Structure 1
Amino acid sequence: MSDSGKERRLGRLCSVDDGRYVIVALDHSMTTGPIAATDSYDKLLRTVAEAGADAVIMHRGRAKRAIGQLGELGLILHVSASTAAGAHNNAKTAVGCVDDALRLGADALSVHLNVGSDTEPTQLREIGELSSACDRWQMPLLIMAYPRGPEVHDEHDPQRIAHAVSVAVDLGADLVKTNFAGSVTAMSEIVATSPIPVLVAGGQADGRSIEQIGDDAVRSGCAGVAMGRQIFESESPGEVVRGLVALVHPRRAQSPR
């Protein structure tokens, strides 16, 4: 079967034909709780769209009510979950499927994989099944792959990140999101091992500014950024997104949607 369906959907995730992405991750509400009041959430969607973001990542409940507000924003449906209230936050489990993404008109499916976690075998099996379904229905698959578990002492270790990216590739991902490896050189070496686009996660406390995160991602050959907290917790989410767009999509920075 041709991959034309995947290609068309991937094309809708990128506002410029440059193979790069600025994606706003809004899946944190499942893990840690509401990220904004309902009216503020709706405003946030409008703000990031107007600022030039390519897509948002959401769980299906919020995606269902937001469909009419997304405009030209791409929709990536996230189907992995755990909560910070539980004893096993790294034990991600599937709470959705490709059918959900198709019904919502999503442009891609997103899953979370913690390489090194206690429940790694279950996560691998579930993601393998979802990957097969994505291929069957020509739905692009984004895997958020992180080195994370009891034996992982440094989630930014280049060797461990390279392994996590490799696992995502072997599972059939079309895009992979992961941690930054500490330096442009180290991240460049990881990108060189990946036949699929690599997106850099925003991170919480690695000491870099938003501008540096975007610049480091581009200089290391990554396909862009997929960032959540540093956008929706900012006092000016639109400014953050516009800054990232200027770095990741310099050709469209001056021509908003």
Structure 2
Amino acid sequence: MEENGTFGRRLRLRHLYRKPGSGLLVVPLDHAIAGGPLHHRGDLDNLVAELADNGADAVVLHKGAARRVHPARFRRLSLVLHLNASTGLAPDPDAKYPVATVEEALRLGAEAVSVHINVSSLTESRQIAHLALTAEDCDRWGVPLLAMMYVRGPEMIDGRAPELISRALTVAAELGADLVKTSLPATPDELTPILTDCPIPVLAAGGPLAGGPAAGGPAAGGPAAGASAEVLAALAGAVRAGAGGIAAGRLVFTAPDPGAMVRQLATLVHDRTAVAAR
């Protein structure tokens, strides 16, 4: 964890890393605007309680969703407020537009903010400009920034090509992000140079593996249930290769037992001995 920025920013980063000496386990739950309500075992508050009870470090929520979660859940779990969005019904689902601000995140008690950027999309220029402005606001208010960087666009054939992933991560680091989330390349060997070249911690996304659904499709945030074992193995490989942690949303909230899935992910992120044995 790099200690840059103001005291407040460093303090909030330390709060994110609840297990000293280990990586970061983030569960994004910002999918509802794009894909519809998250239906699993009752309401969102119950789901977040399961995450908190089973080892997640942080959860990503939109501002309305955050208000539906009991504040007690965040005694053992950090809130990351997501600042942009798009719907799966839009003519261009790769477009992202601002829906919240860093100041709103602070008013809600968030310890970090996140933005999703689709490099190579038709609206790339607006999305990267929003990332830069968000980074400036994070500097002003002392708030850590997680950039979710994907290579997606109408002309993009393979958004998981290592050289393209590396370029997307470079954008995040150069514009001031503290952490970056991205898709895994096809093989673990391709991941090592990507991690070496990136100066900020990289969170491996628990999404579909290469050869699965298209990167820009509705399943981009996670695999089908039957692919869980394969994805877990790939995430373990990413942690062994040096990833700074895991960011897995749909892998968790579509699991038959989200708590059990989070425990498996927490073991990968927080227990180096267990990861080395896999």
TM-score calculated relative to the size of structure 2? 0.86
After TM superposition, list the pairs within 5 Å mapping 1:63-142 onto structure 2: 63-68=66-71, 69-142=73-146
Q: Which moved more, 1:4-13 or 1:75-84?
A: 4-13
Structure 1: distance between partners of 2:249 and 2:76:
19
Report what 2:23 is aligned to: 20
| Displacement of 1:125 | 1.1
| Displacement of 1:213 | 3.1
Secondary structure of 1:65 counterpart: coil
| Displacement of 1:194 | 0.9
Match of 1:224 among 236, 239, 245: 245
| Displacement of 1:64 | 1.8
Q: When the two structures are aligned, how many residues end up with a matched partner?
A: 253
Structure 2: distance between partners of 1:39 and 1:174:
34
Does the 8 Å contact 1:210/1:244 carry over to 2? no
Report what 2:61 is aligned to: 58
Gaps of 5+ in 2: 211-226
Structure 1: distance between partners of 2:62 and 2:147:
15
Secondary structure of 2:45 counterpart: helix
Report what 1:7 is aligned to: 10
Match of 1:215 among 236, 239, 248: 236
Match of 2:168 among 164, 169, 176: 164
Structure 1: distance between partners of 2:266 and 2:247:
12
Secondary structure of 1:247 counterpart: helix
Secondary structure of 2:148 counterpart: strand
Structure 2: distance between partners of 1:105 and 1:33:
25
Superposition misfits of 4+ residues, deviation over 6 angstroms = none
Gaps of 5+ in 1: none
Does the 8 Å contact 2:25/2:247 carry over to 1? yes
Structure 2: distance between partners of 1:205 and 1:170:
27
After TM superposition, list the pairs within 5 Å mapping 1:124-203 onto structure 2: 124-203=128-207
Does the 8 Å contact 2:151/2:159 carry over to 1? yes
Residues 210 and 47 of structure 1: is their aligned pair in 2 closer, same or farther, counting only changes over 3 Å?
Answer: farther
